Structure 1
Amino acid sequence: MEIISGKNKQAGRKKIKPYSHGLINKISKTQPLQQCHFISNTHWDREWRFSMQRTRHMLVYMMDMLLDIFEKEPQFKSFHLDSQTIPLRDYLEIRPEKEQTVRQLIKDKKLLVGPWFCLPDEFSVAGESLIRNLLLGHKIAGEMGHVSKTGYSPFGWGQISQMPQIYKSFGIEFAAFYRGVNTEQSPNSEYIWQGADGTRIVGSRLSMRPRYNVWYVIQRPAYWQQQDEDSRVVPWNSGNGPFKFVGDLYSQFDAQYARPKFGYDPASIPARAKQAMQEQDGDWTTPHRFWSCGHDSSCPDIREVRMIEDCNKALQGNAEVIHSTFEEFQKQVLENVNLDDLPVCKGEMRYYSDSKATSPLFGGVISARMDIKMDNFRTERELIRYAEPLAVYASMLGAEYPQQFLAHAYEWLLQNHGHDSIGGCSRAVVSEDMLFRTRQCREIAGCVSERALLDIAGTLDYAAHEDESIALLVYNPAPFKRDEVVSLNLEIPREAGSGSFEIVDVHGRKADVQVLGSSESFQVVQSPNDTANNFLTTQYRARAALKNIPPAGYTTFFVRPISAEDTVQPRPATMVTGTNTMENEYLRVAIQGNGTMTITDKRTGKVFERMGYFTDTAEVGDPWQHRDVEAKQDFTTINESAQITLIREGALETVYQIAIDWSLPACRTADDSARSRHFKTVHIENTITLRKGQSWVDIVTEVDNTVEDHHLQVAFPSGITADTTFAQSQFDVAERPVKITYSDNCLETPQAEQPMNSFIDISDGTHGLALLNEGMKAYEATDQTQPELRLTLLRCFPLRICVTQEMTDYSQIDKSSQCLGRHKFHYAVMPHQGDWEKADLWNAAEKFNLPLVIGQTAPTENGTEPLKKSFLEISDERIAVSAVKQSEQGSGWVVRLFNPSSAAIRTKIRLNGGMADFPSSPSPIERLKNEMALPGTGKQPWTRARTVNLEELPEKELALDEAGWCNLEIRPKEIKTLEFLVH
């Protein structure tokens, strides 16, 4: 993160170039009156304190009210549905008869929806998920009549560094949010935001009370005679007929009003309208102010029309209050802002609140409910990195593309990405619903992947290998070639009479194999035109070193049974080199009595000690912020005794298991001041694996969490002197200072944890230490000369939610935030040379998180495809692939690339060579008659390739050579989307 002040703050700042299509002009207009854009809206958390279904009950009331207002009050001009489209889906499922009315309101730009499907927490989901969220929001809004192209995403906990590039590629040149920006970075509301790739857009922090100024300052006094607009305490006997369940049934429900009064106090308006003006005076650089009439789950009100009229009368001669839209407010700011006077903020926006004009960052959400975040990561991976690309590749061979299955899978996934949901800020009923949704998504993704691999396997040409009876199809989802030690559960038919086996590639070269054991087994085989049957087999559990797996493609190996008579027991080989010590060609790992590791990088001689000890502190915060107790007690496993067991050894893989029974305080004290004097045992098991050819130590940690109110981390002392760390982010690698940057003006406690995706790294330029991980989102680099890198495993807090000024404490009836029970974490420690780019950490994290897919098959006849193939080829392996998908228009195939490096890269790309020639309406009968054969590749070579923006609108035509390659240059941090077409 970087801040460059405006020209009045710092001389010599470069001027911003005007945008190509002229939406932002370097002009300054003076207007006689301040323009107060009164925007009727709601902030709709689909689920938070309540489940989606209970919240939808409120949504239907809100939308019914809105439609009635539009019908009965022509002066009620517009309503902003919180930049989302998912409320439309939820509403119309209950009120399908209202669809045409809703469509007309959207078409007439009275009901403003989109551009998002739902408002996410950007740091908790994949970068590709953010793009799909926007694509789905655009699709739904476009089909309903109009996409509101506004960058109003007010409720993420900070903003990722690539949002300017993402927004601009969707045709959005304005970002409005209030968490993560403060007055030190942006003294006035408006500023320039420069993304990681250099893209610049205008930003606004929306001034005082950023999304509910009118709601509090004017509306509450006028409607409810609330003299202290900030007070959330109301009298019981107010005449509104409060109602509360107090028996056993429904007693957890909030109170409601049975007969809420419909009042309006015009006498309160003049003073309150002037107060709303005065609170924001001096904070805007244009005459255009954002006056927001909306709140959490708030309902539109027909009285707003009169309130606007009365505000206009009260401010006559000083300001004009107009019932506006966010589109119009955004347009006016862009047309009137003087760019030369604005500061430039660079990179991710994660600054702490420093005044009443800004809001808390609340960055602690990245460690809330880590189980939910890891579950989401694995679901994203199965859908985005496996199912969808495999479906594309199979379709290129002639298979039917499962568009609707994939569309349904994405909807299940993206429903979980609302900020409160994925942020882990909700009650148990929400997380339970989320786990259901991700399971639906993964079930669909698994079916799609299976069908695609079946189709691919059926196309292979085995003519040169007619004597082989068992083949392995090995698929690599990553865009680079791989050599890897893999796990296998081979099923060799019992009739083969095998005592062992060997694995060879298509050239007959043997793979190294480490057999772990065997047992008699049987496998069920499904056939839709027959009953289920069995294969009688001997199952061999083994590890194999498979080489030359092509990028984004497959290769074939053959399994050859060896009869019991011919089986020769090989001389045992091992990576064990001493007591509790193992090593491969890169690393030496010695496990100490306390369970930590001493790791020696054999390439450099650098020794890393005390690797992987656990540390635990108290936690009495809430979903948004970590807070320790006053009487701090830090516990570590450094002085604990571990039980160390060698559970597997061999030439390809060696595994140790480490068990620790750790005594920790059971909970917090009742007053939150200390940890309990009562202790419980927390059992931790580490499975530590070293494999041949792998430059990291693989670790699986299983924790049986029996205690509450604690913050559990695993620590790796780096032994490296550095001031910054590097963390993989969404389409970026973010460099962050080890020392937390905040000023004395901060109004919130800075959080030591920072967000990450799949790796973090620290380096002095010569030596480096990286941690890879599977779906964990929070890390800490301790503030010292040689920092420790810490991964957060669990942050277990009392469930207290800020519904009003007073936290509502659900902790006695809802223990979900305490994360009790068993948890599994997968990560790795990787010493390396140089910095993260020299160590190729982006691809290392891909390799760590994208296991090869291996299928066993019997060769069939009349195949058309080679036994080894890349569907997608990129000449420079530094280029990352974010997506392979069908185009939104359905006429082409899209590949999304990204350059994570600090240098521009010239590369070339080829997608399969073209499409199969197959009927537009495939016949299941014909497929059955043809024994499921597909026509194969190359019948329709690509005729065109072009770059498109993230909305997939055409940008630039690309030349294709005869072999199907196209050349392109990708700038540092640039996201590049290509579309391939046959027509």
Structure 2
Amino acid sequence: MESKKTAIVVAHTHWDREWRYPIWKNRSLLIEFMDWLLDILETDPEYGGFLLDGQTVCIADYLEMRPEKRERIAAQVKAGKLAIGPWYTLPDLFPIAGECLVRNLLKGIRFAEELGGYNPIAYHTFGWGQTAQFPQIYQDIGIHYAVAAKKVSHERAPHCEFLWTAPDGSQLLTSRLGVFTRQNGYFYLHFPVRLNNIYDENQYAWKWGESGICYHRADEELHENDYFRIDHEDGYYKENVKNAAQRTWDNMDETLVGDWRILMCGCDFSTPNPYLPQMIKDCNEVLPDIDFRMGSLQEYFQGLEKRIDRAEIPAVNGELRDGEPCGASANALATRIHIKQLNKKVENVMIRRTEPLAASLMMLGDVYPTAFLARGWDYLLKAHPHDSINGVTQDKTVEDNLYRLNQALEIGETVYEDCVAGLLKRIDFSAYDKQDTLLLLHNSQPRAIHEILPVVIDTPQEENVWAVGVEDIDGAPLAVQAISRDEHKQPVHDIEARPWPFYVDRHHLYLDTGDIPAGGYKVVRVVAERTFWRDEEWWPAMRKSAGKDIGQGTRSLENEFLKVTVNADGTFDLTDKSTDRVIPGMHYFEDDGDTGDYWAYYPPYGNQVISSRGFNSRIWMEDNGPLSATIGIETCMQIPARAEYGTAKIQGYGRRSDELVDLKIVSRITLNRGCRHLKVKTSIDNRARDHRVRLMIPTDIRTDFSDAAGHFIVDRRGAVHECDADGTFYPEMALRPQGIFASVSDGDIGLSVLNNCLTEFQLMTDDRGTIALTLLRAIRNRICTESRISSEFPNKLGSQMLQTVDYEYAVYPHRGDWQQANVFAEADALNAKPAAVQVSNSGGGDLSPSAGFYSIENETLVLSSVKKAEDRNSLVLRLYNPTKELQTGAVTFGFPLERVWKINLNEVRGNELPVKAGTVSLSVPSGKIVTLEVESKGSAQ
């Protein structure tokens, strides 16, 4: 034990892959920084090391430009002087799926290990709030300590150190650092000694001709860009060391360990500071009772563990997302919502459809498309850095990120089609005729499903088919409902010829799929219900009906479970027939002003909150039949065109303009036979600036809490986030993250809103228990550069969302809470929809026309992933228990098993599990994530 106090000084940077500047400007700065850092680490033996922000993608970006530097970087990593990882990129957590967080860590750890090893500390000062399950995720990987400076309150964590506790009980010894968190040594020590400046006394300003050499684009097109300094700071003010060193030490006075502190010497885009070893020497000289020394996060936590009594450390449970709103960047969730929507679409294609089918076929002997999917995941993970996924950037960076997501989407869809082709070659079609038109229905959910599915079927024109039917595998008819038909000429690609013209009649219809096996597929046959004389122009065949249509008149829908009546103001009354509960006046929109910024919603002082209920709506029946019916509702709201700020730039200042523009909102509500939820598709044509649009769903449920799908858990949160001692609170902190559903219940009845495209909601404290879902925020293009200045781009209007935005969600009234109502399974219907593929007869194969590859017994156990193992030719299946109780269940596989292991999230094998008749029995504790590795006798090696 050291006899005097110790300050571990960690040199680091926070390096956003793209933020204030687009990717290639940032890359240029990265090369300058990394070249300099390598030179310092190699030539200065007193420079103890450098923390590269907990990520590895900046190394990948650097090596793309400087491939010859790989061995030099590896040498520093192996020597322990350059700490990288465990992350690949630094994601914002709440807009992305929990599975993506695990994949990010897997990629980051493996990339770092290729270079010599990864930083074994969960350095997590990025992301706007921290998910509740991080202690379990990190601990399962083998990481036991965390720096989590964003965003835990002093009320919950009065000391720097706390035991961060996950829902399953996993704990990490965690530090929230001191004042200025990850910059506590940079602002207090670096600024006075290197710049002769006291940062927090508001003296920091550029002085032309004195502060350094810089340039600025003066042309009309680029004059809004920042100034750039091109020389390096060479000042050193030793006379400031004593006071600066003492202030730096004192900023961690809230620690439980008075003689052992960590001082983080770095900031956003900060350089290595070659003077740091000299600064440390001078600190030791002026404060001899403290041993200042360069070190690492690992060294700090090892010393902390020796000195601390865990029994005295307070536990902090669940997510770290405490106020105030701007500090937690609470409302970036709804900024540039179209990025998040595309990301969710890509995640659903990659995780919920393509990987499960590819992995299942691998277990049957097919080759896994590793290279394709690795490239797809690289695009996807590079879309997840916190600034990128939220679009708190210049418009060009948003376009770059949409490009990445679209590449990942195309790869996911392409690989999926290749897997379907591989499956097609394996199926035994001997029971069908060669000319039969067939549909392959694929279900990636871990349970059998029965859906009303919109499909498009082509029949050869020479068959003159007017109406089609569909037969199940046993020849039993499946119900269909015609939507439309048309004539088409469709190309058929042939690798050995020019595309073939295929002349078809195209039939749009709803199909009652019957049961599709869990994690599997079935083949159904298309039959001609009625033919026609193609040359006849008079009296075409009329459509027949069996009655029992779901739509009644133009304003009412009804099936076995729900009844919907649309009102003149565009709302609807929803009846849950299982409880006779009627919820009137549902589904309206509110528009209010937003003069905040990317990170925080801020209503203007002169606000107007406008309801769609004050405008008439156009209502029509769009589709109707015994399987499905849709009502269209168009509402045109007149809202202020913009905010008027005058000459002030402060948050919230201003008023909504007197000039009005139209905000057209079109919703299509669909009710399917046998469905317990009401499906909705909404389109917003936004022409206004500086405002927020929210969807309002009254529940008439009295409760103080909401439940929302989170990362491997359901997050319960209060309607009011937290109250201070005087009873006041921040209303904007009640804007909550959500995954695929948000739900409220009083224990007896509940209502959930399911979605595949939303991120933010609020349980209102009104008398109707309204769920408010944020659809878009339209805000200024203003990037926070430093506390007193912003980079502003008033002519770049991408952040104002002047475009059409589409949404898909569902309203699900039910008994009990989300668990009793199997809300996860209902939400899967939107996010893991069955796919329909028209196929021709490929002859004989070794697979039956209907099969399931995997299933989970117990619907409360939620499937997270089915994929190939990272380092072996085996299948990995991940599930979790989001409930408060122990859950027992079983996983059954539809291929011959060799062995099954329980593995950790880093895919290190643990216990081998017994297998009986292709089934593995599980007992999953509350909040637990379980990962299985499966070897098959037929898998490709």
Q: Shorter-chain TM-score: what band?
A: over 0.9
After superposition, the Cα gap between the structure-2 partners of 1:869 and 1:110, relative to the gap in structure 1 and judged at 3 Å, is same
After superposition, the Cα gap between the structure-2 partners of 1:794 and 1:859, relative to the gap in structure 1 and judged at 3 Å, is same
2:31 maps to 1:60: yes
2:604 maps to 1:649: no
Q: Which position in structure 1 is the counterpart of 2:583? A: 608
Amino acid across the alignment from 1:618: G
Q: Which position in structure 1 is the counterpart of 2:716? A: 735
Alignment partner of 2:661: what SS? strand
Q: Which position in structure 2 is the counterpart of 1:981? A: 935
After superposition, the Cα gap between the structure-2 partners of 1:595 and 1:323, relative to the gap in structure 1 and judged at 3 Å, is same
- The whole-number CA distance in structure 2 between the counterparts of 1:703 and 1:828 is 17
> Alpha-carbon deviations, 1:552-595, whole Å to 9, x = none?
10011111123427989533532123451111111111111111
After superposition, the Cα gap between the structure-2 partners of 1:563 and 1:272, relative to the gap in structure 1 and judged at 3 Å, is closer
The answer to which of 330-339 and 593-602 deviates more is 330-339
871, 885, 907: which is aligned to 1:889?
871
Alignment partner of 2:99: what SS? helix
Amino acid across the alignment from 2:672: R
- The whole-number CA distance in structure 2 between the counterparts of 1:141 and 1:286 is 34
Q: Which position in structure 1 is the counterpart of 2:513? A: 546
Q: Which position in structure 2 is the counterpart of 1:956? A: 911
Q: Which position in structure 2 is the counterpart of 1:872? A: 854
Unmatched 5+ residue regions in structure 2?
534-540, 647-652
Q: What's the CA shift for 1:177?
A: 1.6
> Alpha-carbon deviations, 1:332-386, whole Å to 9, x = none?
22333211111111111111259xxxx9222111111111111111111111111
TM-score under structure 2 length normalisation: 0.95
Amino acid across the alignment from 2:596: G
CA contact (8 A) 2:722 2:729 kept: no
Q: Which position in structure 1 is the counterpart of 2:191? A: 220
Q: Which position in structure 1 is the counterpart of 2:643? A: 668
Amino acid across the alignment from 2:697: F
Q: Which position in structure 2 is the counterpart of 1:925? A: none
40, 43, 48: which is aligned to 2:14?
43
Q: Which position in structure 2 is the counterpart of 1:701? A: 682
452, 457, 470: which is aligned to 1:503?
470
CA contact (8 A) 1:78 1:110 kept: yes
- The whole-number CA distance in structure 1 between the counterparts of 2:791 and 2:610 is 27
Q: Which position in structure 1 is the counterpart of 2:605? A: 630
CA contact (8 A) 1:69 1:301 kept: no
Q: Which position in structure 2 is the counterpart of 1:87? A: 58
Alignment partner of 2:786: what SS? coil
- The whole-number CA distance in structure 2 between the counterparts of 1:371 and 1:881 is 26
Q: What's the CA shift for 1:286?
A: 5.7
Q: Which position in structure 2 is the counterpart of 1:24? A: none
Amino acid across the alignment from 2:269: S
CA contact (8 A) 1:394 1:453 kept: no
CA contact (8 A) 1:220 1:229 kept: no
After superposition, the Cα gap between the structure-2 partners of 1:715 and 1:747, relative to the gap in structure 1 and judged at 3 Å, is closer
After superposition, the Cα gap between the structure-2 partners of 1:259 and 1:952, relative to the gap in structure 1 and judged at 3 Å, is closer
Q: What's the CA shift for 1:256?
A: 2.3
> Alpha-carbon deviations, 1:938-972, whole Å to 9, x = none?
xxxx32110000000011111122x2222221112
- The whole-number CA distance in structure 2 between the counterparts of 1:866 and 1:286 is 69
946, 958, 968: which is aligned to 2:901?
946
2:658 maps to 1:658: no
- The whole-number CA distance in structure 1 between the counterparts of 2:703 and 2:752 is 13
- Describe how 1:200-599 pairs up with structure 2 within 5 A: 200-228=171-199, 230-231=201-202, 232-238=204-210, 240-248=212-220, 250-285=222-257, 287-317=259-289, 319-352=290-323, 360-466=327-433, 469-564=436-531, 569-573=543-547, 574-599=549-574
- The whole-number CA distance in structure 2 between the counterparts of 1:736 and 1:282 is 28
- Describe how 1:141-152 pairs up with structure 2 within 5 A: 141-152=112-123
Unmatched 5+ residue regions in structure 1?
1-29, 915-941
Amino acid across the alignment from 1:906: T
CA contact (8 A) 1:483 1:545 kept: yes
- The whole-number CA distance in structure 2 between the counterparts of 1:411 and 1:662 is 42
After superposition, the Cα gap between the structure-2 partners of 1:836 and 1:675, relative to the gap in structure 1 and judged at 3 Å, is same
> Alpha-carbon deviations, 1:880-908, whole Å to 9, x = none?
21111111212321111112222222222
After superposition, the Cα gap between the structure-2 partners of 1:112 and 1:495, relative to the gap in structure 1 and judged at 3 Å, is same
- The whole-number CA distance in structure 2 between the counterparts of 1:442 and 1:404 is 15
- Percent identical residues: 29
Q: What's the CA shift for 1:271?
A: 1.5
After superposition, the Cα gap between the structure-2 partners of 1:909 and 1:237, relative to the gap in structure 1 and judged at 3 Å, is same
The answer to which of 91-100 and 273-282 deviates more is 273-282
CA contact (8 A) 2:822 2:859 kept: no
Q: Which position in structure 2 is the counterpart of 1:812? A: 794
- Describe how 1:181-192 pairs up with structure 2 within 5 A: 181-192=152-163
The answer to which of 854-863 and 136-145 deviates more is 854-863
CA contact (8 A) 2:160 2:252 kept: no
Q: What's the CA shift for 1:803?
A: 0.8
Amino acid across the alignment from 1:716: I
Pairs aligned (count)? 921
Q: What's the CA shift for 1:507?
A: 1.1
Q: Which position in structure 2 is the counterpart of 1:719? A: 700
Q: Which position in structure 2 is the counterpart of 1:8? A: none
CA contact (8 A) 1:471 1:559 kept: yes
- The whole-number CA distance in structure 2 between the counterparts of 1:323 and 1:119 is 25
CA contact (8 A) 1:720 1:768 kept: yes
After superposition, the Cα gap between the structure-2 partners of 1:451 and 1:504, relative to the gap in structure 1 and judged at 3 Å, is same
- The whole-number CA distance in structure 2 between the counterparts of 1:749 and 1:606 is 30
TM-score under structure 1 length normalisation: 0.91
Alignment partner of 2:261: what SS? strand
2:42 maps to 1:71: yes
Q: Which position in structure 2 is the counterpart of 1:972? A: 926
Q: What's the CA shift for 1:814?
A: 2.0
Amino acid across the alignment from 2:569: N
CA contact (8 A) 2:671 2:679 kept: yes
Q: What's the CA shift for 1:982?
A: 4.6
Alignment partner of 1:122: what SS? coil
Alignment partner of 1:280: what SS? coil
Amino acid across the alignment from 2:787: Q
> Alpha-carbon deviations, 1:491-539, whole Å to 9, x = none?
1112223232221111111111111221222322112122211222111
CA contact (8 A) 2:187 2:199 kept: no
After superposition, the Cα gap between the structure-2 partners of 1:784 and 1:749, relative to the gap in structure 1 and judged at 3 Å, is closer
- The whole-number CA distance in structure 1 between the counterparts of 2:427 and 2:628 is 31
- Describe how 1:877-956 pairs up with structure 2 within 5 A: 877-914=859-896, 942-956=897-911
Alignment partner of 2:70: what SS? helix
- The whole-number CA distance in structure 1 between the counterparts of 2:211 and 2:332 is 39
- The whole-number CA distance in structure 2 between the counterparts of 1:845 and 1:540 is 28
Alignment partner of 2:188: what SS? helix
Q: Which position in structure 2 is the counterpart of 1:752? A: 734
133, 143, 147: which is aligned to 1:172?
143
- The whole-number CA distance in structure 2 between the counterparts of 1:769 and 1:251 is 52
CA contact (8 A) 2:720 2:731 kept: no
Amino acid across the alignment from 1:677: D
Alignment partner of 2:94: what SS? helix
Q: Which position in structure 2 is the counterpart of 1:833? A: 815
CA contact (8 A) 1:521 1:537 kept: yes
Q: What's the CA shift for 1:784?
A: 3.1
Q: Which position in structure 2 is the counterpart of 1:933? A: none
The answer to which of 744-753 and 445-454 deviates more is 744-753
Q: Which position in structure 1 is the counterpart of 2:766? A: 784
